[in-house]
Chain A
Amino acid sequence: MMETKSDIMTDNTMLEVRDIKRDYELPAGFMKPKKTVHAVKGVSFKLERGKTLAIVGESGCGKSTLARMITFIDEPTAGELLIDGKKVDTRPGHLSHEMRQKVQIIFQNPYGSLNPRQKIGDVLGEPLAINTKMSAAERRERAAEMLIKVGLGPEHYNRYPHMFSGGQRQRIAIARALMLNPKLLVLDEPVSALDLSVQAQVLNLLADLQDEFDLTYVFISHDLSVVRYIADEVMVMYFGEAVEYGTRDEVFSDPKHDYTRTLFKATPRADVESIRERVARKKAASAA
């Protein structure tokens, strides 16, 4: 019974990572031997089409390195990467155009990830110019359509990034990532730099786009409240290892690993009950 179930799942698997590893070599210095940093120490997971996997962890835990490997920016030291059922040859120069189109990434800081001297229209048109044979007029049309999809307007086509607010820039970054009709989107802390209200808008947009284009998300975040809202599956990373991996409800209701529990405990709670408790505690302390 289990067999058949997993067979059906593989059919629908968008992304599979098998024991992937990444080491960085620190060069030797004077009187200092060469050192190897194991950034990702063998991570495996499977992600179904149209689902969202959230990767949680603190800085330096390897979550961004994992994202860079999934998006072919970094080559894994060992391990396999399967996208849409096909094994990806990650050696430099061996990557097909299709593969590059299938996977796109959105970065954390929308202020740093857009070229300040490039107009928004050109930002959106560039992936098409490089990867397709579309004419300039076609590209322009597609870019204008995409602007509307992400909640901006065609009038923004000729503007520069500095004319936009943080939330709007993140929308532009999302639009750019979607220009090539990707299947898999890696979002590296896409809302961490945004205000609460704008964060809500961008999260709503991401949810809408996921439905519309049947996208699969790998969502990297350190904010557990966002993860709880958006994720289907959650993976917690700690020092390069996946210490916890399961569906959202499993992880949140019954965390197995100590680190996950520490993480949950450290997350500030904004519900009335815990505030009431804290205020009462403080009163008691000051009275004593």
Chain B
Amino acid sequence: MALLQIDNLTVEFETSTGWFRAVDGVSITVEKGEVLAIVGESGSGKSVSMLAVMGLLPWTAKITADRILFEGKDIQKLSPAERRKLIGKDIAMIFQEPVASLNPCFTVGYQIEEVLRIHLGLDKKARRERAIELFRLVGLPDPEERLNSFPHQMSGGQCQRVMIAIAIACDPKLLIADEPTTALDVTIQKQILDLIMSLQAKNGMGLIMITHDMGVVAETADRVVVQYKGRKMEEADVLSLFESPKSNYTKALLAALPENATGDRLTTVSAFFDGNPEPAPEAHA
């Protein structure tokens, strides 16, 4: 049984010009202990599909799916209360902007202890100990001191570590990382990715890595799903994706990498879409 199985997920938003389909019939499965990367550009629906799983989309969004099974249970059929018990505990998410996703009004210690209180019901002393343990695990210096810090007193990399600590606080079975390193420096990115991967290997979590960075995909994924404009373009294991991409879009993405540049010019994705009914990425404005 797959850890997470999504069949035919469609997410639509109502706009002034009618319904806009952000995710169009996407099916994804993640096994236990597997690292799945979802790659795509902005607007490809990669984040939206995972937000739909988390139930974090606004009520205006229309979500339809044949099945969203987590450990065999359909998430869609859960009551809101049951769902809240699952989300944040067994399924956790790391967001892109660490500084923006932490509450500026509370200390990071309060924010991580809140999770421990609600999901695990630990008492005050146990919460504090566990929080310190988690901070140490994610490599924050002086964890005891750090608990009393506010997000603005920490750097972006440190905030992301706090986010990761919050996400793994309840030993989730599935961790969704939405562009976890996009806002960070390369050296910090390396540390954070190493951290996520070592936690993943240690806890045997399923991990969904949402990213637009082919480098991050190459360094982390077992299997890759390529999305474009809400549709799944290709699904392959990481090696065959880079070695012999099947879809034109994936080929275009790989060719647009500066390190793959041949001669003076970079191949652009729109160059690949010439003669293809798909519109070029910039044509919509």
Contact = CB atoms under 8 A, between A and B. Distances in A.
A195 B41 contact: yes
B258 interface: yes
B105 interface: no
B201 to A, nearest CB: 7
Contact of A266 (B187, B218, B265): B187
A203 B266 contact: yes
Interface stretch (A2-10, A17-25, A42-50, A223-231): A223-231
A164 to B, nearest CB: 5
A269 interface: yes
Contacts of A163: 285
A174 to B, nearest CB: 15
A269 B219 contact: yes
Interface in B257-284: 257-259, 261, 264-270, 281-282, 284
A266 B189 contact: yes
Contacts of A97: none
Contacts of A148: none
A268 B281 contact: no
B253 interface: yes
A78 interface: no
Contact of B201 (A201, A279, A285): A285
Interface size class of chain A, counting residues whose CB lies under 8 Å from the partner chain: 35 or more
A175 B32 CA distance: 50
Could you say which interface size class chain B belongs to? 35 or more
Contacts of A196: 41, 212-214, 253, 256-257, 269
Contacts of B36: none
A229 B215 contact: no
A226 B258 CA distance: 6
Interface stretch (A125-133, A165-173, A176-184): A165-173
B186 A275 contact: no
B187 A58 contact: yes
B252 A197 contact: yes
Contact of A198 (B214, B239, B282): B282
A173 B212 CA distance: 23
Which of A228, A267, A268, A269 is packed against the most chain B CB atoms within 10 Å? A268
Contacts of A58: 185-188
B230 interface: no
Given A168-B282, A229-B258, A266-B189, A197 B265 contact: no
A278 to B, nearest CB: 7
Contacts of A267: 186, 215
Given A168-B282, A196-B214, A228-B258, A201 B243 contact: no
B281 A197 contact: yes
Contact of B242 (A228, A268, A275): A275
Interface string A229-270: 110000000000000000000000000000000110111111
Given A229-B266, A268-B218, A270-B218, A224 B186 contact: yes
Question: Most B CB atoms within 10 A — which of A164, A195, A200, A285?
Answer: A200
A15 to B, nearest CB: 23
Given A165-B284, A263-B186, A266-B190, 15 more contacts: A58-B186, A165-B281, A196-B253, A197-B256, A197-B268, A197-B269, A200-B256, A204-B268, A222-B185, A223-B186, A267-B215, A268-B190, A270-B214, A271-B218, A275-B238
The 7 closest A-B pairs by CB, nearest first: A268-B215, A197-B269, A266-B190, A229-B258, A58-B185, A200-B266, A195-B41
Interface of A: 58-59, 163-168, 195-201, 203-204, 207, 222-226, 228-230, 262-263, 265-272, 274-276, 278-279, 282, 285
11 contacts: A195-B41, A195-B212, A195-B281, A196-B213, A197-B269, A197-B270, A225-B215, A228-B258, A266-B189, A268-B213, A268-B215
